[in-house]
Structure 1
Amino acid sequence: MTLDSLGVAETALAGGVFDPSRLADPGYFAEHRRPARSDHRWFRSEAELAAGESGFEQSLNGLWKFHYARNLGAVIPGFEQPGFDTSTWDDIPVPSHIQLQGYDRAQYANVQYPWDGREAVVPGEIPTRFNPVGSYVRRFELERPVEPGERIAVEFAGVESAVALWLNGRYLGFGADSFTPSEFDLTDALVDGENVLAAQVFKWTSGSWLEDQDFYRFSGIFRDVVLRRRPAAHVEDLRVSTTLDDAGAEIAVTFAAVGGAVVGIELEGVGMLDADADGTHRIRLDAPRLWSPEDPHLYRLLVRVEDAEGATSEVIAQPVGVRRFAIEDGMLRLNGRRIVFNGVNRHEFGLQGRVMSREQTEADLRLLKGVGVNAIRTSHYPNNSFFYELADEYGFLVIDELNLETHGVWDEIRYLDAPLDRALPGDRPEWKPVLLDRAASLFERDKNHPSVVMWSCGNESFGGSVIRDVADWFRSVDVRPVHYEGVDWDPRHPETTDVTSRMYTPAAEIEEHLRTHRDKPFILCEYAHSMGNSFGAVEKYVELAYREPLFQGGFIWDFADQAIRMTDRHGVAFFGYGGDGGEAPHDADFSGNGIVFADRSPKPALQEVAALYQPLRLEIDAESVLVESRFLVTSTAGLEAVATLRREGRTLAEASFETDVAAGESGRFPLPVVVPGFPGEYTVDVEFRLRESTRWAAAGHVVARGQTVVRVAGEPAPARRAPRPELVRGTHNLGVRGANFEVLFSTLHGGLASYRYGLTADGGRELLTSMPKPNFWHAPTSNERGWGAPFEDGQWLLASRYARVAGEALKTARVSSDDESVTVGFTYDLPTNPPAACDVDYRVSGDGRIEVTVSMEADASLPDLPEFGMLLTVPADLHRLRWYGDGPEETAVDRRLGARRDVFERDVRTELTPYLRPQESGSRTGVQWASVTDERGWGLRLDSADGMEFSALPWTPFEVENAAHPNELPPIQRTVLRPALMRRGVAGDDSWGARTHAEFRLPRGPLTFRFGLTGVAGTA
């Protein structure tokens, strides 16, 4: 590699005048910008290297002077001149987004271009009425004088969406790619003492047409700004490649050096690299330790640079992962082993928007590693360079994506029948140079990272020859496979992508496709759209990935909610989404599709992710466990296996046992715990835990787990039967009394009016605050809204709120008794079309237990039921929730694989999962019993022999549905209990049309649900 090949002139000198009219020219994306290079750092000495602090770097992060203009016509001329007085300007932190510092508005849009409908512009043109411009000024002094032959440049690691730069009034250059560095040489414009660096940042340029990603629209200097010194003898660019064969591996290093540099390269712990005649340095490894997600081993190349006099000029440390990733035998393989992407898409987004620190990024990767994620797609742009360093170190397979998405234009073709020549970039030659430039910036910076296993040509930009040419360029410079999903929509150039890539294709359709298409590996670059209460039936995808060799997994959409911390008019904090900043157009809460919240607290879906992505599949019975390994290289011998026997939350036995299952193999092992012969229900849990702490988790962290439920048959000891309760018939009420309780049914209003328990002189504790009613409704989830469920299901909302007793309640109430109980029943007419009816019967035993039976047979023409159960309210003081069933996190019938059966405790006041938009949440499946009590233990216990779904929340479904944000929910006045036969599964194939899978919907035909209510006595 030569300096000429990089296009670098040793005395690169900027000049000329910045012409803002060119911002609307697709061919204007760089001026006097230094060529892209590898992201290695250089140090003055090995001591500096060891400390991690380079004397060649000077940070310009911090407070800059700032002026905001709503468009180009409002900028202040001459601000870049050294004598211009900026003392009255605002201070703004760098890095930051101006929209989060009190200027402009943060705008969330998914597909819509942010100017759509506001200004009539076509691709390439830019809005003129409103197009914010930020003018930045920073004064600085060099930390030491410029040495002979030294060059000094400033690097902007990320500016959205373009930057023009001046130093001491001299124009230096322009760069327009938001997500890769723009670097400019300063040397010849520097002065002794104070220097004045001025930057103008434009929100929208022609390049913004290529940046229509599903994200918040920001602008500003949002990544680091660093001065970089280049000594006279310097390695400008470094490329490391590894070749792996049956005999070992070879590491080859090429570089571009200047100033008569003499370069020596050592592979630490191995030896010096030998130089070929062409300048390539090589070394052979006979038994290399291979890099993989399970063992991300990195060798270290130490590059020492000397000048012509033999003095040390700089020292470079370059990590090297020895691995081979390629399509072999028609499949994606790592080091010869077929891989499955257990992946997520990750926007670079946190509580400061796209301003992310290394520490925040590392915390993200630790979290993902802890739940079994092995792959990340950088949706939909290059991340900070430190992301790739950390991905190398932690072991993630990365699809590195070009900064390209033109979804808003693509929609014109899909939905408005626009001609193919409308596609952007499509076949338009004027857009090819900018995309090749972005591809080069991505590749040159990230080429040395072993974590990067595929190059992606962008996202949701249809197809065409320009993207095909970008793919060909990647192949011309590298051997890694190329990815692009848009070929699925525009198949004219199938050679664009080396893999078949789709989004949100149901698992059954993938399997059907692969029956006849066996030419390429198949991946889902996006799947399991985790918007709101979602992520249902994802196990179908994971099961298929381990059964069908050509389906090699996918990437969950996505990692974290994009949301902004806000405060309402009452001073209450909440997370805002599209429209909350007063912006339009916007796409509301469609940004809330993470498996974690914006603050990285886990969503319930994360429990499911951990179960689906765990590297061991466990099948447990009462005596043994079958362990199926999905590891690539790791044996289970390095993990501690622990079996635990419990009965309704009480641990009876726990013991460790040894296993040694090789990667990709299976083995069966006897359990070291014995299920007793006494009648009852027992749980047997097996967990595989880390024996020692790792960088990403502490010792004891559960890597994989499984559970079985064992029921030992037999008759329980007979309970003493209480005498039949007394029935008291009144004109408008029916009373049923026992020794310690009193139940009152209203035959006037038709229902259970009172349940008093723990009778004392004052009449006992009233446990109900309203009359229980049959319930068929829950607050619609994001996915249900996506396919129009509220429109279809609306009559079940009416049925839940406005059911009435059939006929005249005084005449139609059913009353019967037997030797042990009294039963009172009511029939409710439901306002559905066609009409339906529901029966509710209360069987009251002498001990105070009320067995409730809800039954209904709805006409087959009625829409699916959202749920089938009862709604009852109790005093808000009953907020201590305890249950035996699935947990610990919220579950659903199609999202319960990550749960385990046990006894759990929560506080009702925090049971509503804080999704960006309130919706059905807090439900538990497989509940045998649940209790809600106050601080003294008084309350209510519900039970179901067959298991039920159960939730206890501070609000009714109707109150939840009415709130646009959690802070809008009313003050807590009650505890709302909803025992149910079943709720509709949450679904998750996508959030704009995919319904719950049929097996996770309530069945048609007669429905019957039984559960019990019993008062719980506490202390006085």
Structure 2
Amino acid sequence: MTHALPYFEDFAPTTGAARRPRSCLHSDAPRIVLNGDWRFRLSPTPRGLSDEMADPAFDDSGWDEIPVPSHWVLGQDGRFGLPAYTNVQYPFPVEPPFVPDENPTGDYRVEIDVPTDWQSLERVVLRFEGVESAFKVWLNGDEVGTAMGSRLSHEFDVTASLRPGSNVLAVRVHQWSIASYLEDQDQWWMPGIFRDVTLLGRPEGGIDDAWTRAEYDHETGAGTVHVEVDAEPTAFPVTFEVDGLGIHVTWDTPADIAPVHVDRVEPWSAESPTQYQGFLRTNVEALSTRLGFRTVRIEGDRFLVNGRRVVFHGVNRHEAHPERGRVFDEEHARADMLLMKQHNVNAIRTSHYPPHPRVLDLADELGFWVIDECDLETHGFEFGGWVGNPSDDPRFADAYLDRIERTIERDKNHPSIVMWSLGNESGTGRNLAAMSAWVHRRDPGRPVHYEGDYTGEYTDVYSRMYSNLQETESIGSDGIPGDLLGCTPGEGMRQRTKPFILCEYVHAMGNGPGQIGEYEDLVLRYPRLHGGFVWEWRDHGILTETADGEAFYAYGGDFGEVVHDGNFVMDGMVLPDDTPTPGLAEYKAVVQPVAFGLERDGGSATLVVENRYHSISTAHASLVWVLAVDGDDMATGVLDAAAVAAGDTARIPLPADALDAGELAADGAEGS
């Protein structure tokens, strides 16, 4: 006799009224944000727990309160457990789909007051932006459904259970689930409802989903907008407006939708992130969207945006805050990303999961090339030689596809995203190949990345972690032979026909990052090499106290974990308190987008200015010279020079007073 597995050990990623994934839309339709204080009860195991707490009449007066969003292991003085850190190893026995019986389970309840005019809505949708790691939902005692995928959005249709006035929402969250086998990222394990929860009203005649793809023709300067509208035929006519471009078109039926051409637009890039405000309107709803015109293309072994080769001076960015963990704080995220810009960081890999949706809004606004990575890592299977790895287990096929679909459908409208990544350190196998095939069908305009595809069977770029200088040079040069990791000679030849990136390199732990300059020299020498992403942007230390009240930043083992990976979580170029390290200052200097040289000829000298920006000139900067003697500044001046175009080099004669005895330094001072 067989017994059905509990839903948190079942291979189905969702059940019940779970809806298919869609974009994170900015709509004027009614919504209720459910963030705030919820009632909370923690149990050490789900075994024996009844569903009585889902009954609206259930008395939860003896429960605690907890803020949503939050992790229940943070900010609660340890009464609901403590964080645990592992890098590769799983913190429980590896026997999928089973998880430990000791599986902390949090029950949440909140009362929702729904206006009476919501009765006129066609549907009401309950949206969770992030829950770790599996959860079940009830509304007014009705079981709505279950879902897994911690850093992924999930929606449920709750129309049938919602009523005007008071409603009771109940959610049961399990720390461990079958999904935990797919979420073995190098970070703290921190359960809970840690992202926003929202009730979304959906009017009859509204737009369920939309995709506005804005392409740029670098040869003519023209732009084309491809609009995809998911709505019932009765929602039409649909109007598309972009006031800044003079676009105002109305489509009477779905069959009328056609690309919209604009003769001249300002393109979007990480250096000049021009966006245009657009709207999609029906008679009952307006969606706002931000258009960034850019085209991503691979030509041979070149990765091009708007016709020009991109060099990624990037970082791997986890969502980490010393007090809030992965709970999003927009002010902190904006400050973090501005600090990146100040240090010449132009790219972000969202290691190793889609970030909070607002992070991508900020990337669009501030200007970053983004690799958006799926919430997937099975690294712990490496210890067993990848035997039983879910990536090649057909029982996990639906879960893998569900994860990549949720990643892409949520984030498809962001111009900053120039590549999709299938995940991280998950070996290889049929499920990853199926993910890639789905992505290529759904979005052929963005390449697919995954470092573990060593032989290049299903990815568009060749990606590696920590290849040494010798091997990296052999990848960049056709004339330097060398075996490549995991490749036969023939497979290595295939990989050398693709653009190459280092998705992780110059590890920043301790006195790292090291050899930044040597890697940058290779990128400048070999156009096949397209830069890389430093591991990693910031330390993940958690602010806590010693027994006598002294504050410190904790790492693995500091919370009494038996299984942990120590201080390997402290490996960023920014400390937990937001202090930049000397390594970040070095990185800024090495990858600076304007390089200087000096050519002397007798009594004259010429300043050589090389513009390494992707797309902008030096018009925003002033060229300042300083004459120093024994380290003391003796004179200074500003050179009157024309702007240098992206990719060009200019030679500027230096004035006589800058050539007196001393040490001459040139600086590109940012203009206001």
Q: TM-score, normalised by structure 2?
A: 0.91
1:855-894 superposed matches below 5 A: none
Question: 2:303 maps to what in 1?
Answer: 332
Q: Tell me the distance in 2 between the aligned counterparts of 1:407 and 1:249.
A: 42
Question: 2:442 maps to what in 1?
Answer: 477
Q: Tell me the distance in 1 between the aligned counterparts of 2:416 and 2:540.
A: 25
Q: Which amino acid aligns with 2:468?
A: P
Q: 2:6 aligns with which of 21, 27, 37?
A: 21
Q: Tell me the distance in 2 between the aligned counterparts of 1:605 and 1:443.
A: 34
Q: Contact 1:212 / 1:407 at 8 angstroms: preserved in 2?
A: yes
Q: Which amino acid aligns with 2:242?
A: L
2:639 matched to 1:666? Answer: no
Q: Tell me the distance in 1 between the aligned counterparts of 2:126 and 2:402.
A: 20
TM-aligned CA deviation for residue 648 of structure 1: 4.5
Gaps of 5+ in 2: 479-492
Q: Once the two structures are aligned, what percentage of the paired residues are identical?
A: 39
2:191 matched to 1:216? Answer: no
SS in 2 for 1:644: strand
1:920-939 superposed matches below 5 A: none
CA, structure 1 residues 385+28, in 2 after alignment: closer, same or farther (shift >3 Å)? closer
Q: 2:72 aligns with which of 82, 98, 115?
A: 98
2:214 matched to 1:242? Answer: yes
Question: 1:204 maps to what in 2?
Answer: 176
SS in 2 for 1:523: strand
TM-aligned CA deviation for residue 410 of structure 1: 2.1
Question: 2:320 maps to what in 1?
Answer: 349
1:197-346 superposed matches below 5 A: 197-245=169-217, 246-247=219-220, 248-258=222-232, 260-261=234-235, 262-269=237-244, 270-273=246-249, 275=251, 278-306=255-283, 313-346=284-317
TM-aligned CA deviation for residue 147 of structure 1: 3.7
Q: Which amino acid aligns with 1:644?
A: V
TM-aligned CA deviation for residue 671 of structure 1: 3.7
2:670 matched to 1:690? Answer: yes
Question: 2:96 maps to what in 1?
Answer: 123
Question: 1:870 maps to what in 2?
Answer: none
1:362-761 superposed matches below 5 A: 362-413=334-385, 421-426=387-392, 428-479=393-444, 480-488=446-454, 491=455, 494-516=456-478, 517=493, 518-620=496-598, 623-659=605-641, 660-672=643-655, 674=657, 682-692=662-672
Cα deviation 1:366-404 (Å, max 9, x = unaligned): 111111111111101111111111111111111111111
Q: Contact 2:507 / 2:514 at 8 angstroms: preserved in 1?
A: no
Q: Tell me the distance in 2 between the aligned counterparts of 1:271 and 1:536.
A: 50
Q: Which amino acid aligns with 1:289?
A: E
CA, structure 1 residues 244+621, in 2 after alignment: closer, same or farther (shift >3 Å)? closer
Question: 2:89 maps to what in 1?
Answer: 112
Q: Contact 2:38 / 2:108 at 8 angstroms: preserved in 1?
A: yes
Cα deviation 1:941-973 (Å, max 9, x = unaligned): xxxxxxxxxxxxxxxxxxxxxxxxxxxxxxxxx
Q: Contact 2:625 / 2:658 at 8 angstroms: preserved in 1?
A: no
Question: 1:978 maps to what in 2?
Answer: none
Q: Tell me the distance in 1 between the aligned counterparts of 2:96 and 2:44.
A: 21
Q: Tell me the distance in 1 between the aligned counterparts of 2:654 and 2:553.
A: 47
TM-aligned CA deviation for residue 676 of structure 1: 7.9
SS in 1 for 2:160: helix
TM-aligned CA deviation for residue 407 of structure 1: 0.5
Question: 2:485 maps to what in 1?
Answer: none
Question: 1:59 maps to what in 2?
Answer: 33
Q: Contact 1:254 / 1:281 at 8 angstroms: preserved in 2?
A: no
CA, structure 1 residues 151+20, in 2 after alignment: closer, same or farther (shift >3 Å)? farther
Q: Tell me the distance in 2 between the aligned counterparts of 1:281 and 1:43.
A: 25
CA, structure 1 residues 144+348, in 2 after alignment: closer, same or farther (shift >3 Å)? farther
SS in 2 for 1:391: helix
Q: Which amino acid aligns with 1:445?
A: R
Equivalences, count = 638
Q: Tell me the distance in 1 between the aligned counterparts of 2:55 and 2:312.
A: 53
SS in 2 for 1:227: strand
Q: Contact 2:182 / 2:378 at 8 angstroms: preserved in 1?
A: yes
Question: 2:490 maps to what in 1?
Answer: none
Q: Tell me the distance in 1 between the aligned counterparts of 2:560 and 2:656.
A: 60
Q: Tell me the distance in 2 between the aligned counterparts of 1:449 and 1:587.
A: 35
SS in 2 for 1:545: helix
CA, structure 1 residues 624+514, in 2 after alignment: closer, same or farther (shift >3 Å)? closer
Question: 1:889 maps to what in 2?
Answer: none
Cα deviation 1:961-1016 (Å, max 9, x = unaligned): xxxxxxxxxxxxxxxxxxxxxxxxxxxxxxxxxxxxxxxxxxxxxxxxxxxxxxxx
Cα deviation 1:247-283 (Å, max 9, x = unaligned): 4221121211148223111122222136487242431
Q: Tell me the distance in 2 between the aligned counterparts of 1:513 and 1:260.
A: 55
TM-aligned CA deviation for residue 190 of structure 1: 1.9
Cα deviation 1:554-580 (Å, max 9, x = unaligned): 100011101100111222111000000
Q: Contact 1:267 / 1:273 at 8 angstroms: preserved in 2?
A: no
Q: Contact 2:216 / 2:267 at 8 angstroms: preserved in 1?
A: no
Q: Tell me the distance in 2 between the aligned counterparts of 1:371 and 1:683.
A: 25
TM-aligned CA deviation for residue 143 of structure 1: 4.4
Deviates more, 1:515-524 or 1:19-28: 19-28
Q: 2:27 aligns with which of 7, 19, 42?
A: 42
SS in 1 for 2:208: strand
Question: 2:44 maps to what in 1?
Answer: 70
Bigger Rg, structure 1 or 2: 1
Q: Which amino acid aligns with 1:375?
A: A
Q: Tell me the distance in 2 between the aligned counterparts of 1:28 and 1:395.
A: 34
SS in 2 for 1:111: coil
TM-aligned CA deviation for residue 673 of structure 1: 7.4
Q: Which amino acid aligns with 1:647?
A: V
CA, structure 1 residues 187+528, in 2 after alignment: closer, same or farther (shift >3 Å)? same
Q: TM-score, normalised by structure 1?
A: 0.61
The two structures, once aligned, show a CA RMSD in angstroms of 1.9
CA, structure 1 residues 292+673, in 2 after alignment: closer, same or farther (shift >3 Å)? farther
SS in 1 for 2:52: coil
Q: Which amino acid aligns with 2:18?
A: R
Q: Tell me the distance in 1 between the aligned counterparts of 2:121 and 2:549.
A: 58
Q: Tell me the distance in 2 between the aligned counterparts of 1:677 and 1:321.
A: 49
Cα deviation 1:208-259 (Å, max 9, x = unaligned): 1000000001100000111111111210010112344444221121211148
The structure showing larger relative contact order (alpha-carbon pairs under 8 Å, at least 6 residues apart) is: 2
Q: Contact 2:17 / 2:158 at 8 angstroms: preserved in 1?
A: no
2:112 matched to 1:140? Answer: yes
Deviates more, 1:63-72 or 1:263-272: 263-272
Q: Contact 1:343 / 1:377 at 8 angstroms: preserved in 2?
A: yes
TM-aligned CA deviation for residue 604 of structure 1: 1.0
Question: 2:136 maps to what in 1?
Answer: 164
